[in-house]
Structure 1
Amino acid sequence: MARDSSNAGRGPLYRLYISRLRRRIDRSAVPQHVAMMIDGNRRWARQLGYESAAHGHRAGAAKMREFLEWCDDIGVKVVSLYLLSNDNLLKRDSRELDDLVEIIADLVEGLSRERDWRVQHVGRMEGLPDDLAGVLKDAEERTRGNTGLHVNLAVGYGGRGEIVDAVRSIIAHHDKSGGSLEELAESLTPEQIGEHLYTGGLPDPDLVIRTSGEQRLSDFLLWQSAHSEFYFVEALGPDLREVDFLRAIRDYADRDRRYGG
């Protein structure tokens, strides 16, 4: 039975342990970019006896706000959250999808007014409900000048589609300059593709975290995570605790990153 995360880990001993973990974090070893795949919201709602998955998605959205605060507090510079995939748009039950879109819109609106965070949408606007697309655009515009934590919100996102869009963008720019296909083929580099991704200009994720015990990428940041470290948490999304996060950071700091070697 999943526990209500709002009541988990609130005792004095837990707070003391968290404080000790925070002090032991080597700030110089904190990942610059953390990507989060929050999973298990529907299972959480089911196990608690809720009739609608929306309860789980709301709890997951609240946890994402907490997660961003944890990241900001220890010095992470960029966080990417996987909120809604292209597959979700096509395959989710229409009622659940309507609820999820509303919950994401509320989350985006709230995040655009948190601290000094800069919000950026990564994904395709095409196919998103107009209201959600409008909220994402407004959040980007409202936070454009912010210099705090950079928050990427993957909504209407697919990693393979992102790579296709990047290549199309490169071809379009090359064609506009009058270059030939042969010249493009000879000059194309991984760095060039990276510059045309939705996250172009940002560092690739150092650490990718996924909740609920699932160990797969699910089409998330396929190109960018080529050399990322991965950390899988058994807790369902809404039950994620700060201690789980800090253990992930500690584990990351202890690893010998080999960048594919």
Structure 2
Amino acid sequence: MLNIFKNKDINEIPVPNHVGIIMDGNGRWAKKQGKPRVFGHKAGMDSLQRAAIHGQKMGIKVMTVYAFSTENWSRPEAEVKFIMSLPIDFYEKFVPVLNKENIQIRMIGERDGVPKSTIDAIDRASIDTKDNTGMILNFALNYGGRNEITLAVKKIAQSINDGIISVNDITEEMIADNLETSILPKEYQDPDFIIRTSGEERLSNFLPWQAAYSELYFTDVLWPDFDEAELEKAVEIYKKRDRRYGGLK
């Protein structure tokens, strides 16, 4: 294989523009501490703040974090209730800090079914940070990739039914424009790099369309222990990848 880094300093290689993170291992981290699972979710929020601030400093443009999947509703009711309260705490504790760091807050995912207080906290965070020009911290909350694609197909089918477009008008770009990530700048909608913590090696319905050519990185580190050094380590590994997008170099 051609070594594209042979005569190139790794520091000259750009960081990924869009990083997706599957923040896994909060419950296991808490168990190791002899604490309830919710203790791990709270610690995970501290880790998220660290990752967001350091990602911004590294030059990452978008960081999409898998905060709660559509499948997570099957967890114990008390745990779900606690997770849904975290955005409220996040708004009070972390948004002022992220605002000072010039970070924007956005959200993708189904709003229906999420407690109003949770949605209100995220909406307030989005409004408070809308004029910031730095990294976008994008929460995937009550998000499921297959559901996202299904909803996009329904919207396109409705446009066909209404006579606005024909079947032959459907393109990959049109599908992308109807996905929830269309709220992001077009050049950054697909993640370049997806990180999953805790040792699991699957995407778990996270951005399946957008991740078609994403580089994947799996680490045994539990999310609350994923600090600035771990993020830098992951990005250094990304920089060594040979991204060919199906072609040859």
Taking structure 2 as the reference length, the TM-score comes to 0.87
**Could you tell me how far apart the structure 2 residues matched to 1:66 and 1:141 are?**
22
In the alignment, which residue of structure 2 is the partner of 1:86?
70
In the alignment, which residue of structure 2 is the partner of 1:253?
239
**Could you tell me how far apart the structure 2 residues matched to 1:260 and 1:106 are?**
44
In the alignment, which residue of structure 1 is the partner of 2:58?
74
For the 8 Å contact 2:87–2:122, the answer to whether it is kept is: no
In the alignment, which residue of structure 1 is the partner of 2:193?
207
SS in 2 for 1:29: coil
**Percent of pairs with identical residues:** 37
**Could you tell me how far apart the structure 1 residues matched to 2:173 and 2:154 are?**
15
AA aligned to 1:213 is G
How much has 1:171 moved relative to structure 2? 3.0
Task: After superposition, give the CA deviation of every residue in 1:145-182 in whole Å (9 maximum; x if it has no partner).
Answer: 22111111010100001111222222334545x336xx
In the alignment, which residue of structure 1 is the partner of 2:5?
none
Q: Does 1:96 align with 2:79?
A: yes
> 2:177 is matched with which residue: 195, 202, 227?
195
**Could you tell me how far apart the structure 1 residues matched to 2:130 and 2:54 are?**
22
SS in 2 for 1:26: helix
In the alignment, which residue of structure 1 is the partner of 2:49?
65
Q: How do 1:210-249 and structure 2 match up within 5 A?
A: 210-249=196-235
How much has 1:244 moved relative to structure 2? 1.8
For the 8 Å contact 2:50–2:227, the answer to whether it is kept is: no
RMSD: 1.8
In the alignment, which residue of structure 2 is the partner of 1:105?
88
Q: Unmatched 5+ residue regions in structure 2?
A: 1-8
Q: Unmatched 5+ residue regions in structure 1?
A: 1-23
AA aligned to 2:32 is Q
- In terms of mean alpha carbon deviation, does 212-221 or 161-170 score higher? 161-170
SS in 2 for 1:156: strand
For the 8 Å contact 1:33–1:77, the answer to whether it is kept is: yes
How much has 1:196 moved relative to structure 2? 1.2
**Could you tell me how far apart the structure 1 residues matched to 2:102 and 2:221 are?**
29
Task: After superposition, give the CA deviation of every residue in 1:103-147 in whole Å (9 maximum; x if it has no partner).
Answer: 233224545431211111100100101110111222222222221
Total equivalences in the alignment: 232
**Could you tell me how far apart the structure 2 residues matched to 1:162 and 1:151 are?**
19
